[in-house]
Chain A
Amino acid sequence: MNRKELYKFLEFLSQQHIVYAPQKDGANLVIEEVIDSHNVVLSSEIPLHSFKKYLVPAKETLFKFDKDKIDEGINSPNQVIFGLTTPDLKAVTLLNQVFKKDPYYQERKKKSLIVGHSLVPKQKYHFFIEKFEEHTLEHLEFDIFLAVKGQNFIVYTGSEDGQRILDDFGYKTYEHIQFAGYIKEEGPDEQMLKINEAMKQGSYMDKLWQDLGKICIECGKCTMVCPVCFCFDVVDQASAEPGTGERKRCWASCFYTDFSEIAGPKTFGEKPKFLQNTAQRIHFWYEHKFVRLPDEIKLAGCVGCGRCTKVCPVGIDIKKNIQKILKVKRIK
């Protein structure tokens, strides 16, 4: 497929879908709705704000209630999330697992066409990212993948939906990749297992976390931009009419003090909570990524996109921290 055909394909897609794709917003690359397909940027730069909000919205309605009646109304529009790099496809693959039994996510996923590309980010923030090779595609979930070759693209499909849409568009020379499971044949990622092991032997009392606890200002920006972070609250939003309203699911951040608060008598004006200080909170964040997710689904909760490092106002660098986690030698 050449560039001209690609723009045509984007226009074809936008006839029946809302298309989101990387575009420039000032100095930043963002993934937003496409109005003019010529604004779409396919580059090795990772958009600062990820695709996340299109699959896991910052706020979504679980159901409406009216006295004792519940209206589930699970429905989402047809959408295309275009131009994801391989680390972001990894994040999609992970979210697919986490929300495997979640009807809201699955509905959105069913209505979404995911289009990835092969340009590999080079900037200093990234890590964990492998060079693109055809066999890496076997372990990623996507619908269409564009492998960049000079000015052209080699087109792969990863699902029947992807095949169908290309057929409808009239593009025939794609190659289908059979999904071989999200874990590679040789087993879970070794680096991930090492970090997992090292994290389990330590605790938030270790120097690394105590040091980070002193500088992190708990702004939560890292959790917002991270394509993997998916913690949430469930809250009711009452409407004007008594007894009516909506139950909503909203993004939460483990950096916020209310995250672990429970009801009970206050001490020094504060409710009882289990994550007491910044060191505990940032440790909890890493624990989710490198202990719980690997234990549960054999995937690290970090795809190495470097977004968190880029937005952190105090310069906390996840790549360096991982190196520190791995370096600690423990005497058993």
Chain B
Amino acid sequence: MNEYEYNMINLYVPKLAKIINIKQESPDSKLFTLQYQDKSEFEFTHGQFVQIGLFGWGEAPFSLCGPTTEEKTFQIVVREVGDLTKRIQKLTKGQTITVRGPFGNGFPMDKFVNKNVILIGGGCGFVAMRSFVLDHNLGKFNPKNKLQIFYGCLNEESVLFSDELKAWKKKIDYRIALMKPSPKWRGIKGVVTKIFEKVKVVNNAVAVIVGPPIMYKFVIEELTKKGFADTDIYLSLERRMYCGLGVCQHCAIGSYYVCKDGPVFSYSQLKETRGAI
């Protein structure tokens, strides 16, 4: 049978990328700057992810977190949690890894046009927000729109991008809550929703939440209390995934695929789907 065009691109074959730079971000996370070995360009949008792999150890999804303004280099943060991530962390500058993607829909940029934005991140989920923050600070978006960040983290050591914060704070309303801070901590203590008690949320805003699954329910409750419509709340979800193409079924939720229709969904999309959040 040969009715179909079959000179197709093989989306399972990764491209090789070289590690240009590595920076320790926290005790368990490293920021990797990558570039394709053939020096080809890399284009993506905020909130998208790539499948990063090592031959012999497989692949896993990681959020793209560099600015979109770089033509050739791109960045990911890898937190050590298992076999593959342990191996990736052992790599050094100049070594290669494999890349497929970018995948996913990314942030709802057209919803942001005349709106303020609040990003609410927990733990490693905060990684996914950095590319938007960097572009914002570079003046890529409407300067009239405000950006607010609520970030929940374990302790001082685990705060990601800590040496960039000084610059960030000049352009955005950045708030952080630490769950188990040192006795010296003067800031907000507790889970990320604590910030809602102390800080006024920007008005006329769209919210994007990225974090561990347990966080979503509580943050959505807070936002709803503050008058956010379901269509103005977005969530970026994590699921197991293999193909990134909406075929393997591991990341399916109801009628959606996290890899293809997500990872960013509006709350109104997911509200009726039990087990999604």
| Chain A interface residues (CB < 8 Å from chain B) | 62-63, 65, 67-68, 70, 72, 74, 96, 98-104, 106-107, 109-110, 112-114, 141-143, 159-161, 179, 200, 203-205, 230-236, 238, 243, 245, 247, 249, 252, 254, 259-264, 272, 274-276, 280, 284, 287-288, 291-292, 295-296
B247 touches A235 (CB 8 A): no
Q: Which residue of B lies closest to A74 (CB)?
A: B10
Knowing A110-B6, A236-B58 are in contact, say whether A72-B13 is a contact too (CB < 8 A): yes
A58 to chain B, nearest CB (A): 15
Q: Which 6 A-B pairs have the closest CB atoms?
A: A203-B274, A263-B81, A65-B55, A231-B249, A238-B56, A234-B242
Among A102, A235, A274: residue with most chain B CB under 10 A: A274
CB-based nearest B residue for A114: B1
Closest to B247 in A: A98
Could you say which residues of chain B place their CB within 8 Å of the CB of A263?
60, 81-82, 85
A residues within 8 A CB of B274?
203-205
In the assembled complex, B213 has its CB within 8 A of some CB on chain A: yes
Cβ contacts A to B, 15 pairs, < 8 Å = A68-B37, A109-B2, A110-B2, A112-B1, A141-B1, A231-B249, A233-B242, A236-B56, A236-B58, A243-B56, A245-B55, A247-B58, A252-B250, A262-B240, A287-B254
Would you call A232 and B242 a contact (CB within 8 A)? Answer: yes
Known A200-B254, A247-B58, A254-B249; further 18 A-B contacts with Cβ < 8 A: A63-B12, A65-B56, A74-B10, A103-B6, A109-B1, A110-B2, A159-B1, A159-B3, A179-B3, A234-B242, A236-B57, A262-B240, A263-B82, A274-B239, A274-B240, A287-B252, A292-B255, A295-B255
Chain B CB within 10 Å, residue with most, of A67, A102, A243, A275: A102
Task: Report the Cα distance A179→B85, complex, angstroms.
Answer: 48
Contact (Cβ within 8 A) B58 A260: no
The verdict on A259 contacting B250 (CB below 8 Å), with A70-B13, A106-B8 known, is yes
B residues contacting the other copy or chain, number (CB 8 A): 43
Contact between A232 and B1, CB atoms less than 8 A apart: no
B239, A200: Cβ atoms closer than 8 Å = no
Using a CB–CB cutoff of 8 Å, the interface residues on chain B facing chain A are: 1-4, 6, 8-14, 16, 37, 55-60, 81-82, 85, 96, 212-213, 238-240, 242-243, 245-250, 252-255, 274-275
Give every chain B residue within 8 A of A110 (Cβ-Cβ). Answer: 1-2, 6
In the complex, which residues of chain A have a beta carbon less than 8 angstroms from the beta carbon of B254? 200, 287, 291
Alpha-carbon distance between A291 and B252 when the two chains are bound, in angstroms: 11
Q: Distance in Å from the Cβ of B40 to the closest Cβ of chain A?
A: 16
The interface residues of chain A lying within 8 Å CB-to-CB of B11 are 101
- A247 vs B4: C-alpha distance when bound (angstroms): 26
- A68's contact among B2, B12, B82, B96, by CB below 8 Å, is which? B96
Q: Are A234 and B8 in contact (CB under 8 A)?
A: no
Q: CA separation between A327 and B127, bound complex, in Å?
A: 47
| Complex CA–CA separation, A276 to B81 (angstroms) | 21
**Most B CB atoms within 10 A — which of A103, A107, A204, A243?**
A103
- Residues from chain A with Cβ under 8 Å of B16 in the complex: 68
- Select one of A141, A204, A238, A261 contacting B240, CB under 8 A: A261
How long is the Cα–Cα vector from A233 to B59 in the complex, in angstroms?
Answer: 11
Cα A104 to Cα B247 in complex, Å, equals 14
Contact between B1 and A264 (Cβ–Cβ < 8 Å)?
A: no
Query: How far, in angstroms, from A261 to B241 measured CA to CA in the complex?
Result: 10
CA A233 – CA B240 in complex, angstroms?
A: 10
Is the pair A232, B56 in contact by a Cβ cutoff of 8 Å? no
CA distance A102 to B13 in the complex (A): 11
By a CB distance below 8 angstroms, the chain B residues around A68 are 16, 37, 96
Q: Please tell me if the beta carbons of A245 and B56 are within 8 angstroms of each other in the complex.
A: yes
Q: How far is the CA of A261 from the CA of B249 in the complex (A)?
A: 13
B12, A62: Cβ atoms under 8 Å? yes
Chain A residues near B253: list those with CB within 8 A. Answer: 274
| Chain B residues near A65 (CB-CB < 8 A) | 55-56
Question: How far is A260 from B251 in the complex, measured between Cα atoms in Å?
Answer: 7
Cβ contacts under 8 Å, A235 to chain B: 58
Knowing A72-B10, A205-B274, A280-B275, say if A260 contacts B240 (CB, 8 Å): yes
- The chain B residue with its CB closest to the CB of A108 is B1
- Asked whether A113 and B249 contact (CB < 8 A) given A236-B56, A292-B255, the answer is no
In the complex, chain B residues whose CB is within 8 Å of the CB of A114: 1
Closest to A159 in B: B1
Quick one: given A103-B8, A103-B10, A204-B275, are A143 and B247 in contact (CB under 8 Å)?
A: no
Instruction: Specify which chain B residues have a CB less than 8 angstroms from the CB of A107 in the assembled complex.
Output: 6
A64 to chain B, nearest CB (A): 10
Q: B58 to A288, Cβ gap below 8 A?
A: no
Interface-central residue, B1, B56, B85, B249, by most chain A CB under 10 Å: B1
Residue of B nearest to A107 (CB): B6
Distance A284 CA – B37 CA, assembled complex (angstroms):
40
Select from chain A the residue with minimum beta-carbon distance to B124: A264
Other-chain contact of A102, B14, B56, B242, B247 (Cβ < 8 Å): B247
Closest to A64 in B: B55
Docked-complex contact A234 and B243, CB < 8 angstroms: yes
B14 (CB) vs chain A CBs: closest residue = A70
Given contacts A100-B4, A159-B2, A264-B81, contact A259 B55 (CB under 8 A): no
Q: Is the CB of B4 within 8 A of A234?
A: no
Q: Which residues of A contact B13 (CB under 8 A)?
A: 62-63, 70, 72
Cα distance A290–B4 in the bound complex, in angstroms: 26
What's the Cα separation between A294 and B243 when bound, in Å? 20
